[in-house]
Structure formats: C-alpha cells, structure tokens
Structure 1
C-alpha cells in the first residue's frame, strides 16, 4: 500500500522509518512545512524496504492517490488535516491531540463521521506490553476489586519555551495520556476531578498561563480513586508509570530496570545505569505496534483500537482538570461536556 506521512519532525521521522520498513507498505510519500526537512528524511530511507519520496506540500500528498495518511505535524494543524484527509476518503492516523480545544475536536470528528472514514489517534501506551498486562489483570479480576490507581508522567527536562504557549497546557499535553490509559485499563469513565498545579522552575510556564507540575484526583464511575501526577522536571530520566491497587495486590506498569527510580533503603534498588532518556526510547516498541495496527485498520482488517471519540473523552477530562485548577474546586466531567456541546459520554469498555 502507498502511505502519506505529513510532518517530519522528531516523531514524524521515527514514523517514517517504521512505515518504510513495514511489509505492507510499498511506497511512502512525505511532506512537511519545511520541504527541505521532508527531503532530508526521505533521503535517510534509501535502505528501507519501501520506496520513499518527498513532495513539496501536504496537498500534493493528499492528491497523490495514497491509500492512507499519517499525521505527525504540529498540533495546531491536526484538526484541519484530519478534515482534509476525511474528505479525500483516506483512513487516517493522527498523533494526539485532534485539537487543543473541544470545538476543534468536535469539528474534525463530525467530518470524519460524515465522510465515513477510519480515524486512529496516537495514544501509544495502549500498545505497551506493561500497560497491556495491567489491563488484562484488571479486566480478568486478577487484582480483585480495584480501589486505587496512581499514574505518573515525568519528563526529564522542560520543552522549549516557544512550545509551551501552543501546547494546550500540562493537563492537555501530558496528562491526557494518563487520562486515556486509565479509561483503557479500567473500562470505566471519569466522573469528577479535583486538580491543582504549581511553578517552581522556568518562568515561561506561568507566563503562558501554564504550570510545570500538576496533580489531579479523579473519581471513576465505580468509585475508584485515581491520582495523576505530572512534571516537566525529572532530571533522573523519563518516568512514566501506572500503579493499580486492588483487594488482592498491586501491579505496576513502567517499573523496570531502566525506570529512573532508586530506593532510600540501604539494601534497596540502586539508580539504573541507563535510565530511560525520553518518550521515543521508552515507548519505541509501542509506537511501532500502533502503526502496525493502523495499517491493519487502513486495510479493513480490524476496527480502530483508539478512536477519535476516545481522544475526545480524554480531552474532556483534561479540560475539567484545567478548569478545576483555575477554580480551586472539583469539576464534574459531564458539566464540561454539556458546556462544550459534546453530546453523551463515551464507552471506555
């Protein structure tokens, strides 16, 4: 099959090699707002299984007769590109988010539904072996009844200052992954949130109305309590974990030999010699697996494993958290949904 790739930045370049070496792909056409970068990326794929070429515009890729499209551009272009791909009749994979606000998300989802095309969102934790094992334990009752979940997302260093004003904020940019994976692992919906945040590092976060560290308490529809903690400052390495505690015990995703943790106890685990440096290293296999799944979706071999409506549900939780942080009080997700005109709730099952 012939696949179009829009965006050849850090994650786009990674996806380019994954696609070009996939046995189902015969040709990869790439484009970027910086055409020279797209040509450079295509040039690195001379040894790949599929042929690769750079075109000078997104429109050229959409008109080239590709069978599917992968969107890895800057966030502010996602919604428009999803709409354009849907109108071209193309199965589409898009890195999260659809948009940084609910209206932009809804506009894209309405057009996808109208056109009847497939859309898969890039929440790669769903394809990580550890998170998959935790989901299986929860869904089969291996942990007993689940009462507490603790989710952590800690970046090793802040992003560039120029990124923060357009990122959507810490809850929408980072914690949204935790909100999605909580739904996927448990099969439950988030009913209410109580969130806060702080700035102890660079001033450009507060100047953009954002925070560099945040915490949120989520209550699920069965009463399970979930704490989500995120920070832009974890110099020891990239730390992403989920602890799920039930009546029979606790199981942890992300606790391995490279997790940037160490014990204060004299005989406890020491700091890893090679901690996870970033998200691409930590979730390498998951990123490959989710594109493999998308190519199956594009060929009609399976339904999408992470729909646009899943992305909307995670975004609504993020919106509720941001509102809660600003108000200093709990917020019900359904109130945010109603205010945004987002319709009935989702189905995490």
Structure 2
C-alpha cells in the first residue's frame, strides 16, 4: 500500500524525518508544511515534495498519514486536527507540555480509531535496543538498578528554554521514557534536584541546566538519572543496568571506533557531537517501524500513552525540584 504523507515542520528534526520518509519504499512524502514558507519550499524541493498549508494537507483525502515535527507548542493542536480528519499520526515528543492536554489528545486519538506513535527515538537506537533484548532474554537475570547519564554538549539559548517547559520536560523526558522501557515498571516515588551551573541566563528564565533524579518503581527497582546541558567532549548518552546475574553497559557512539596507542598515550574519537548524529540510525528505524506496524496492525513500540506517562514523570520531577521534596506517584 502506498502511504501518502504530509510533514509538519521544516526545521532540523523535520529535515531528518523528511529524508527518511522520502527514502522509504511504499511511502510518498507529498507535502511539507511550515509557517516559514522559504523553509517549506526549500525542504520540499530537496525531497521531491510540495510546499503546502496545513489546510491543504488536512483537507486532501489522499493524505492518510501526518508526521508532526513542528515546535512543541503546536503538537496537541495538530494531533487533534489529524484525529478529526482521521489521519494516522507520527509525532515527535512531547505530546504536549500540559498533562491534561496530552491526556485529551490520547482520548481523541482513541475515539477516532487512528494510529498514533510518539517519537521516542532512543528505543530504536541499535545499542539500546540490543540491551533491551538481552534483558528480555534474562541474560543478566532480574534488572535491579538503572543508571542513566544524559549530557548535551552545550545549552540551547535561554530564549528557547523560556518556552520549553523546563529541563525535565524538554530534555529528561527521553530519560523518563527509557526508565519505563528498560525496567518495564512504573514509578512509585521520585525525587529531583537541580542547579544552574552552565549559564546564569538559564536561571533568569526560571530553569536549571544540571539535574539529578532518583526513582523507585512499584516493584522496588531503582533508577538514577544525571543530566547536564554541558559536556565539553561531545554528546554523552549512556546507561547501565545492574541485574541479579550481571550488568549491561551501553556506551557512547563515536564517529569512528579507531583506537591509536603511541608514546603520548591512547587516543580515540570523542563521542558524536549531538543528538542528530548520535541517533541518526534510530530516527531512520523508528520511521520504518511506524509504517511497518501501520501495514501489519502490530502495536507501536512507543504509543501516545507512553508520551502521556513520560510527561507525568516530567511534571512530578518539576514539582519535586521546585518544592524540595520527594513525590509519591
């Protein structure tokens, strides 16, 4: 079946998805929509699509899938419009910065009977995915402790952070999803703290740039997340799982895996520079998974319910940080 797709958003993540959509067999990227007309036209020309308005895309009966890669504050409205138009949805995280609005989106999707997948691309990273498969096989016994390291090479502009919902909703929401996915359990208790150590301007907009979160699941498993907006050596994305019979450690990706040893020391590449490079393959695999499941009827690896659940954890972490107390869930 040839799927006709409209892409919303021609920014950096929209460009990644556009290239992956255009390369998929059985998928035609027909429209690129963006309020910046030049951006939409430029990207559409690159991938053999047509620049269009939102109304054109939603009103075209040939479009049966929309891919939402627009700014966060547009996601819930676009999900609602897509549900009303009975078009299947792939949407970048988060569903919405407001949990009630995210829940309302999930309800509208279910009422419309359409498919909706949320773009938590880390579940599709080959390294992380392999660790999950080893856990499922019981290679290290029962998982007991998860430690996640999440560090960006640098902080985005304070003006962006002002409308981002804060570090727990904007950045750590991926880590909250990894926590639920890897441990296969829900949080019962959460404690979060943070500081502004990277850029004083971030504090001025009411956010932090360095955070630590501890979670305990309903089954008693523990997770620690440490996050920073500054890692001088590159994009630092790692986790390790301690099990009853061993440990799984997932390290960073590097541009090459060459190691040079000489009289001056041992040298290798720094980690990939940023998420666009680190998760290049994950973005490709998640979009392929979306259309495979759409065709087969199999459940998505990341549903809109996963998006709501991660948002609830982000809200709880924000509350814990602000009040200085642990939160029971």
TM-score bracket, normalised by the shorter chain, equals: over 0.9
Instruction: Evaluate the alpha carbon distance shift between residue 132 and residue 26 of structure 1 in structure 2; reply closer, same or farther with a 3 A threshold.
Output: same
What does 1:121-200 align with in structure 2 at a 5 Å threshold? 121-200=118-197
What does 1:55-94 align with in structure 2 at a 5 Å threshold? 55=52, 57-65=53-61, 66-94=63-91
- Aligned residue in 1 for 2:22: 20
Which ranges in structure 2 are unaligned for 5 or more consecutive residues? none
Distance 1:29 1:121 in 2: 20
- Spell out, residue by residue over 1:60-90, the C-alpha distance to the aligned partner (whole angstroms, 9 max, x if none): 1111231201000000000000000011001
- Aligned residue in 2 for 1:340: none
SS at match of 2:321: helix
Moved over 6 A (4+): none
- Aligned residue in 2 for 1:250: 247
Equivalent position to 1:10, from 4, 8, 12: 12
Deviation of residue 302 (structure 1)?
2.2
TM-score normalised by structure 2 residue count: 0.93
Deviation of residue 147 (structure 1)?
2.0
Aligned partners of 2:253 and 2:278 also within 8 Å: no
SS at match of 1:299: helix
What does 1:277-316 align with in structure 2 at a 5 Å threshold? 277-316=273-312
- Aligned residue in 2 for 1:317: 313
Deviation of residue 259 (structure 1)?
10
Distance 1:28 1:185 in 2: 36
Aligned partners of 1:5 and 1:72 also within 8 Å: yes
- Aligned residue in 2 for 1:240: 237
Residues paired across the two proteins, number? 322
- Aligned residue in 2 for 1:48: none
- Spell out, residue by residue over 1:242-297, the C-alpha distance to the aligned partner (whole angstroms, 9 max, x if none): 1101122211123455599x9xxxx9x95632520110110111100110111223
SS at match of 1:4: strand
SS at match of 1:80: helix
- Spell out, residue by residue over 1:22-79, the C-alpha distance to the aligned partner (whole angstroms, 9 max, x if none): 111134211101111000001222xxxxx41111x21211112312010000000000
What does 1:322-333 align with in structure 2 at a 5 Å threshold? 322-333=318-329
Aligned partners of 2:233 and 2:270 also within 8 Å: no
- Spell out, residue by residue over 1:84-127, the C-alpha distance to the aligned partner (whole angstroms, 9 max, x if none): 00110011000000001112211211211211111100000111
Distance 1:253 1:70 in 2: 30
